[in-house]
């Protein structure tokens, strides 16, 4: 099943023209089951969902995001296949980093001012 970007529908010819990275491929209506839309979702937005396959980039350049809880959440989203793409060093950094980042929401100050 191939992800696609743009398409043009010809009802008279019963064909769908699909553009894959600048190359046009024509499918007859009977062949359309081989096409599926492709999507990317962040780990944050995927919480509570599952997907048949998950690909997670794990790079040292993404140091602020190398957190154990984020890696765990991403890995547990995949039902049948999870692929980590990147550097083994980055995976090790994420696994060791159990700290959560402190969030500067000012919620405490806001709640206290409501008294």
Query: Domain ranges in the chain?
Result: 1-38, 40-115
What letter does residue 19 receive in the DSSP assignment? E
82 in Cβ contact with 58 (< 8 Å): no
What is the tens place of the pLDDT at every residue in 102-111?
667 788 888 8
What is the tens place of the pLDDT at every residue in 53-90?
899 999 999 888 899 999 999 999 999 999 999 999 99
CATH placement of domain 40-115: 3.40.50.300
């Amino acid at each position: 099943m191939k992800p696609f970007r743009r398409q043009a529908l010809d009802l008279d010819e019963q064909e769908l023209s699909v553009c894959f990275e600048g190359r046009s491929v024509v499918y007859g209506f009977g062949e359309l089951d081989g096409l599926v839309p492709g999507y990317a979702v962040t780990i944050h937005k995927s919480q509570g969902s599952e997907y048949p396959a998950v690909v997670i980039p794990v790079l040292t350049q993404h140091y602020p995001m190398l957190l154990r809880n984020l890696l765990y959440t991403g890995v547990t989203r995949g039902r049948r296949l999870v692929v980590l793409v990147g550097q083994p060093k980055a995976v090790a950094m994420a696994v060791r980093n159990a700290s959560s980042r402190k969030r500067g929401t000012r919620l405490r100050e806001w709640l206290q001012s409501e008294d």
